[in-house]
Amino acid sequence: MSTVWGLYNYWIVIFLMMTGFYIVIARRNLVKKVIGLNIFQIAVFLLYITMGKVEEGTAPILPARDFQTGAELPAYSNPLPSVLILTAIVVGIATTALALALIVRIQEAYGTIEEDEILARDREG
Amino acid sequence: MIQAIDILVLALLACTAVSVVRMRSLWAAVMLTGIYSFLGAGWMLVLDAPDVAFTEASVGAGIATILMLSTLALTSTEMKRPAASPVFPLLIVGVTGAALCYGTLDMPHFGDPNSPIHQHVAPEYLKDAVPTVHQKELKVGIGNIVTTVLASYRGYDTLGETVVIFTAGLGVLLLLQGPRKAGGSDGREEGAP
Amino acid sequence: MIVHSILRIVAKLLIPYILLFALYVQFHGDYGPGGGFQAGVIFAAGFVLYALIFGLGAARRSAPPAVVESLIAVGVLIFAGTGVVCMLGGGNFLDYSALDHHDPQHGQHLGILIVELGVGITVAAVMISVFFAFAGRGRIR
């Protein structure tokens, strides 16, 4: 995989990102927009994680045996993207919950979660 | 072999994402998002990130789905047919995607052990954690390097993230536990504890 | 109210193991995959399952909202408090080596365990109370 095809992981991740982006800009329903953001978000997580992968590597968790004896160890994948994304996932769900709570309040105030209807009601005053 | 799994999972991810776009029933879209999260978690496991896969499976497929379903129960489960034509959004998405793909041409190849990300900080973390002949004295000495980096090296970061979760939780409670607005309500106030 | 016997019995069997597994993930996070974030979410999932099967009232009785909401702050305070204790021990903020002067490695281990516990408590409490807030809000119309 020394040609340009070695980048296929990024391209599919970008495709997933753009799918989420499309939902966010083309759909008027607020819950659907949050779903789109979620898809976009997970694609970004995957982008980070693919960068941390080392060929023939293994998860960066030391087995107890090697841990004590210090025997020859295999190649480890990069732990840093895992750490960054681990926290990002939980922050992502917290902000998603906040967005959904706002949507619930919008539904209660306007009676709809379709963006154009909300804007129309705002223009009516 | 691993590459076949990669391609299979990525194809399934792409199919799921596209069917979420086409789905007009929000209920089905939420369920498909859960499947998408699970597939993402599966691929993360293949990519040697079990901690992240674990989190994604429990958070993305579990709690996120539950919260979205409870939102649907409070709003509506069908979305209206999109009025505007999809040409302009497709154009924006296409241009952005093409620009990003052009950017990847300079990226290191998938799994390349010599890529810059593996040269700079991570080797120090691994060196601190893995006992060698030269270095018997370990800095932290915990098997799971991800946990070590998360809680010790990047402790400030994690503290910040915890405060973000704290703040978001407070925000949700403030938005949803206040008294219901009198105008739109028909007197059902059992929600307030 | 419909009584789903199978769901109720299976949930009754599963919930203790879900909570136990959450505790395992929490305290074994330094040697295997896991840690505070995952454990908190799994712990919350146990309560969500309980609320789904046995009703929100029962879940609110077993996890009183006042307690859960104060636990949100307790988790953050445990995390930040560990940092302050490290400072009192003569180190920098969140420098766990200062927790045990004789064996810095042990101090690191202890610090990571406590900090992860703080994270776990906050995450679990936030997830449970967010779910209660969504589920407890009656639908208008």
- pLDDT tens for A30-44 read 999 999 999 999 999
Q: What is the CATH number of the domain that holds A62?
A: 1.10.287.3510
Tell me the pLDDT band of C140, cut-offs 50, 70 and 90.
low
* Phi, psi angle pair for B144, to nearest 5°: -85, 105
The per-residue pLDDT for A70 is 53
Q: Which residue has the tokens 């490695």?
A: C105
Closest CA–CA distance from residue A104 to any residue of chain C (Å): 9
Tell me how many domains chain A contains. 1
DSSP assignment letter at B111? T
Sequence-distant (6+) residues with CB within 8 A of B29 are A32, A35, B20, B23
Of the pLDDT bands very low, low, confident and very high (cuts 50, 70, 90), residue C128 is very high
Which residue of chain C has the CA closest to A103?
A: C134
Closest by Cβ to C138, choosing from B55, B170, B188:
B188
Cα A60 from Cα A57, distance rounded (Å) = 9
pLDDT at C49: 92
> Which amino acid appears at position B191 of this protein?
G
Please give the structure tokens belonging to residue A27.
Answer: 């759909």
Average model confidence (pLDDT) for chain C? 89
Q: Quick one: pLDDT at residue C34?
A: 84
**Chain B residues near residue A2 by CB distance under 8 angstroms:** 109
Quick: pLDDT tens for C37-56. 999 999 999 999 999 998 88
CA distances from B136 to A69, A82, B91, B130, C98 (A): 10, 26, 58, 9, 21
State pLDDT tens for residues B19-41: 999 888 999 999 999 999 999 99
Q: Residue B91: its pLDDT value, please?
A: 94
HSE of B71, CA atoms in CB hemisphere, 13 A? 32
Burial B176-186 (b: 16+ CB within 10 A, else e): bbeebeeeeee
Does the pTM of the predicted model rise above 0.90?
no
C108/B163 CB distance under 8 A: no
ipTM of the complex: 0.89
Please list every residue in chain C whose beta carbon sits closer than 8 Å to the beta carbon of residue B141.
Answer: 105, 108-109
Length of chain B counted residue by residue: 193
Domain, as residue range, for A116:
2-124
User: pLDDT tens, C14-23?
Assistant: 999 999 999 9
pLDDT reported for residue B189: 43
- Residue B151 to residue B153: CA distance in whole angstroms: 6
Indicate if the pLDDT at residue C106 is higher than 80: yes
Q: What is the CA radius of gyration of chain B?
A: 23
Tens digit of each residue's pLDDT (9 = 90 or more) over A61-115: 876 555 555 555 667 888 889 999 988 998 899 899 999 999 999 998 888 889 8
Q: For residue A61, list its beta bridge partners.
A: B144
User: Do C130 and A97 make contact, defined as CB atoms within 8 angstroms?
Assistant: yes
Given an 8 Å threshold on Cβ–Cβ distance, is C130 in contact with A104? Answer: no
Q: Is the pLDDT confidence value at C1 over 80?
A: no
Q: What is the pLDDT of residue B190?
A: 43
Instruction: Please report the number of interchain residue pairs, chain A to chain C, with beta-carbon separation below 8 angstroms.
Output: 26
Distance CA A53, CA A78 (A): 6
Which pLDDT does position B83 carry in this prediction?
Answer: 66
* C141, two tokens: 């119309």
Alpha-carbon gap, residue A44 to B60, rounded angstroms: 14
Nearest CB among C35, C42, C60 relative to B147 is that of C35
Q: d(Cα C39, Cα B46) in Å, to the nearest integer?
A: 22
B168 touching C, CB under 8 A?
yes
Report DSSP letters for chain A, one per residue.
--SGGGGHHHHHHHHHHHHHHHHHHH--BHHHHHHHHHHHHHHHHHHHHHHH--TT-B-SB--HHHHHH------B--HHHHHHHHHHHHHHHHHHHHHHHHHHHHHHHHS--BHHHHHHHHHH-
Distance from C-alpha of B155 to C-alpha of B173, rounded to nearest angstrom: 27
pLDDT at A41: 94
Residues of C in contact with B55 (CB under 8 A): 37-38, 41
| Chain B residues close to C71, C-beta within 8 Å | none
pLDDT of residue A68: 52
Q: How far apart are the first and last CA of chain C?
A: 21
d(CA A15, CA B16): 12
Residues of chain B with pLDDT under 50: 133-135, 182-193
**A44 contacts on B by Cβ (under 8 Å):** none
Domain residue limits, chain B: 1-79, 114-183
Distance CA B121, CA C10 (A): 47
Least confident of C8-17, C69-78, C91-100: C91-100
Model confidence band, residue C35 (pLDDT cutoffs 50, 70, 90): confident
